[in-house]
Structure 1
Amino acid sequence: MRTQVCIIGGGPSGLLLSQLLHRKGIDSVVLERRSREYVLGRIRAGVLEPGTVALLREAGVGHRMDELGIADEGTVVAGENWGFRVDLKAITGKSMMVWGQTEITQDLYDARDAMEGTVIDEADAVKPHDVDTDTPYVTYYKDGAEHRIDCDWVAGCDGFHGVSRRTIPQDVLTEYERVYPFGWLGVLSETPPVSREILYASHSRGFALASLRNDNLSRYYVQVDKGEVVESWSDDAFWDEFRRRIPEEMADRLVTGPSVEKSIAPLRSYVAEPMRWGRLFLVGDAAHIVPPTGAKGLNLAVSDVYYLYHALVGHYLEGDDSGLETYAEQAARRVWGATRFSWWFTTLMHRYPEQSGFDRRMQETELDFLTRSEAAQAAFAEQYVGLPY
């Protein structure tokens, strides 16, 4: 098989890149290790930056989002039994959009099917070859046979544990990492949200977050110690703990119910450089991971797609390779900006083992400064809605 761009990874970033390229007449093949059912069953982020919303619309997959998504014009930051609202719309002129990653992936699958795009699920042992030459190719196994795809470029959209990053030689790759000593226990419940805007709560018992997917589907989190297992948390235990950590007036109106999904996610900040080696480009979690504090993960993957999509359009349709040459630099600049913001916000809102009284007072003082300073809120809002491309 021959294609122009071989995309490894059929999550939202890989599917979105394929969809955008197809609409410009650029051919691609998507290889996904898992089944479509598995990919659609993953519960992930649901808060989108304006840049992400715009690119989904450009890809022709924004119709359901625009009809059913929830505009988020502000966010609430809370301490112990108090909170304040950062008016994102008033400060930046922009709003976030609440629209789940599962819905985005479904829309992208539907769009690729409608355009007869090539998405190969359950492709095993995917491996890029000769990406440091002008004739790269990718092999994979399916139905007991080995297959080969010759291509011009390889886009590694296959996540943190994928093969793409490992293709780059160790003496070329530089990895930066901060592993946090806690995780997030998350619950999805078919209950009305306690807040119509995202709530970030800092409490002496640990961090808590209230989010939503729609009017009767809520996503809540509490900080837990590293090493905790989800089996040790009953629904009742989760609700009791969550209620303790959010402001009292919200706790009083919290509606609880059985969990639809429950999981614990470890937290880390991770960046790999370079994001291009030869004809291989790293996209999304293949190159970087951020804590979910501030909702940057999916949005960063989409910003990578933005840069690579425009670079490939420049190459194929305009004879301009400048975007390809600067992809790694452009993408990394935005990655590091978002990594700094999510690291800062995580550090501000969470409790750390052996945290001193001084450390805790510094957190309280910085939160107090954020409540009183218009400049601090403007800096927060600018980064929260997403740095410009």
Structure 2
Amino acid sequence: MQTQVVIIGGGPSGLLLAQLLHVQGIEAVVLERKTRDYVLGRIRAGVLERGLVALLAEAQVETRIATQGFPHDGTVISYDDQHFRINFTDHTDHPVMVYGQTEVTRDLYDAREKTGGTTFFNVEDVQIHNADLEGTTRPRVTFTSDGTDHEITCDYIAGCDGFHGVSRQSIPQEKRSEYEKVYPFGWLGILSETPPVHHELIYANSPHGFALCSMRNDHLSRYYVQCPTDDNVADWSDDRFWNELRRRIPPEFAAKLQTGPSIEKSIAPLRSFVVEPMQYGRLFLCGDAAHIVPPTGAKGLNTAASDVHYLYRALTAHYRENDSAKLATYSATALSRVWKAERFSWWMTSTLHRFPQMSTFDLRMQRAELEFLRSNTAAQAALAQNYVGLPY
């Protein structure tokens, strides 16, 4: 089998790239390790930057954002029992869109089915061959799907297969540098069929640890509390979770919190990670295959989307204009924005969480940072610009 681009990974970044390439008449085959239902069953965040919303429109994806998305003009930040609001539109003229990542992925799968593009599911034993060879030798990808062996010859490979995927591991260790910070806590998150406690997100720094109040829609809420990384989900009853959330958010919101049975509960570790470079010959990394951010700044999917933007533009210039300059500089271009997203996510995480063994000085510095943010217009503008999304 032959194609122009093989995309390893059928999550939102791989699907978005495939759809953007289709609009430009560039053929792509998508390989996904799991089934479509499995991918759509994963619970993920749902804050979309303006750039991602624009990319979905450019990809001609029929979304339900207009009817089911929630534009947010700001966010609430609290510390102790105090809280203040940062207005995104005042500082950037743009909101963010709250629309579940699962719904984005569903919209992208529906769009791909309409194009008739080839997608393999239940893919195993993926191997990348000849990605680093110059000249006329084309890369190959071999794999099995539902027990059948396959081989695809292509021009380029996009590795959109996440942190544990084969793409990054296919770059020899001596050819890549990895930068990592593992945080000493995780997020315990629940999904509940209850109205959100507030119409915008609440980020809370409390003496008991971080908390986040988020939502999927008017009747589906997503809440998180900071917890030790070695905690067991089974030890967190719903009652224990709700009580802990109440004491971490300001009394004004705690009094309005509506509780109910959780329909999903999990603990996610927090990590910052970047690999350099993000390309190796004709293999290009996108999203979690190349970088991970802690979820505090809502940058995971959004930073993957910026990678897709740069790679899609580079491939389009190559195929339609015979110009490969953007392909050659893809890694440097993508990493410039990636590190800015890493910085913002690190800053949000450092400012809002309680770290083990924080000294009294550390606590006073954290409070001073929050009070400066509360009182300084320029600091609020910087947060708003990063949260809404830096330009591509």
Question: For structure 1, which segment, 62-71 or 238-247, has the greater mean C-alpha deviation from structure 2 after superposition?
Answer: 62-71
Tell whether the 8 Å contact from 1:79 to 1:201 is kept in structure 2 after alignment.
Answer: yes
Q: Does 1:330 align with 2:333?
A: yes
Q: 1:157 aligns with which of 154, 160, 165?
A: 160
Q: Structure 1: which amino acid aligns with 2:75?
A: T
5 Å-filtered alignment, 1:144-223, equals 144-223=147-226
CA deviations on 1:22-60 (whole Å, 9 max, x unpaired) are 111000000000011110000001000000110011112
Q: Structure 1: which amino acid aligns with 2:18?
A: S
The whole-number CA distance in structure 2 between the counterparts of 1:257 and 1:99 is 22
Question: For structure 1, which segment, 321-330 or 3-12, has the greater mean C-alpha deviation from structure 2 after superposition?
Answer: 321-330
1:40 maps to 40
Q: Structure 2: which amino acid aligns with 1:105?
A: T
Q: Structure 1: which amino acid aligns with 2:333?
A: Q
- TM-superposed CA distance for 1:198, in Å, is 1.0
2:244 maps to 241
Question: For structure 1, which segment, 265-274 or 319-328, has the greater mean C-alpha deviation from structure 2 after superposition?
Answer: 319-328
Q: Structure 2: which amino acid aligns with 1:150?
A: T
- TM-superposed CA distance for 1:79, in Å, is 0.4
1:275 maps to 278
Q: 1:316 aligns with which of 319, 322, 331?
A: 319
Query: Structure 1 length normalisation: TM-score?
Result: 0.99
The whole-number CA distance in structure 2 between the counterparts of 1:252 and 1:385 is 30
1:378 maps to 381
- TM-superposed CA distance for 1:62, in Å, is 4.6
2:22 maps to 22
Match of 2:173, SS? coil
The whole-number CA distance in structure 1 between the counterparts of 2:309 and 2:361 is 42
- TM-superposed CA distance for 1:145, in Å, is 2.5
1:92 maps to 92
Question: For structure 1, which segment, 377-386 or 288-297, has the greater mean C-alpha deviation from structure 2 after superposition?
Answer: 377-386
Query: Structure 2 length normalisation: TM-score?
Result: 0.98
Q: Structure 1: which amino acid aligns with 2:188?
A: L
1:350 maps to 353
Q: Structure 2: which amino acid aligns with 1:80?
A: D
The whole-number CA distance in structure 2 between the counterparts of 1:77 and 1:6 is 43
Match of 2:221, SS? strand
Match of 1:54, SS? helix
Q: Structure 2: which amino acid aligns with 1:179?
A: V
2:82 maps to 82
The whole-number CA distance in structure 2 between the counterparts of 1:23 and 1:66 is 22
- TM-superposed CA distance for 1:144, in Å, is 2.4
Q: Structure 1: which amino acid aligns with 2:158?
A: A
2:4 maps to 4
Show structure 1 runs of 5+ residues with no match.
none
Tell whether the 8 Å contact from 2:63 to 2:104 is kept in structure 1 after alignment.
Answer: no
The whole-number CA distance in structure 2 between the counterparts of 1:303 and 1:198 is 23
Q: Does 1:301 align with 2:304?
A: yes
1:64 maps to 64
Q: Structure 2: which amino acid aligns with 1:139?
A: T
The whole-number CA distance in structure 1 between the counterparts of 2:206 and 2:119 is 45
Tell whether the 8 Å contact from 1:53 to 1:62 is kept in structure 2 after alignment.
Answer: no
Tell whether the 8 Å contact from 1:207 to 1:351 is kept in structure 2 after alignment.
Answer: yes
CA deviations on 1:217-257 (whole Å, 9 max, x unpaired) are 11000000121111110111000000110010000000101
Q: 1:143 aligns with which of 143, 146, 154?
A: 146
Q: Structure 1: which amino acid aligns with 2:55?
A: L
The whole-number CA distance in structure 1 between the counterparts of 2:146 and 2:180 is 38
Q: Does 1:291 align with 2:298?
A: no
1:226 maps to 229
5 Å-filtered alignment, 1:256-275, equals 256-275=259-278
1:132 maps to 132
- TM-superposed CA distance for 1:65, in Å, is 1.1
Show structure 2 runs of 5+ residues with no match.
none
Q: Does 1:31 align with 2:31?
A: yes
Match of 2:256, SS? coil
* Aligned sequence identity (%): 61
- Paired residues in the alignment total 389
The whole-number CA distance in structure 2 between the counterparts of 1:74 and 1:62 is 26
Match of 2:175, SS? coil
The whole-number CA distance in structure 1 between the counterparts of 2:10 and 2:63 is 21
The whole-number CA distance in structure 1 between the counterparts of 2:200 and 2:60 is 27
The whole-number CA distance in structure 2 between the counterparts of 1:345 and 1:10 is 30
Tell whether the 8 Å contact from 1:12 to 1:104 is kept in structure 2 after alignment.
Answer: yes
Match of 1:226, SS? coil
- TM-superposed CA distance for 1:142, in Å, is 1.9
Tell whether the 8 Å contact from 1:123 to 1:142 is kept in structure 2 after alignment.
Answer: yes
CA deviations on 1:269-307 (whole Å, 9 max, x unpaired) are 000010000000000000000000010000000000000
Tell whether the 8 Å contact from 1:72 to 1:97 is kept in structure 2 after alignment.
Answer: yes
CA change 1:39–1:57 in 2 (3 A) is same
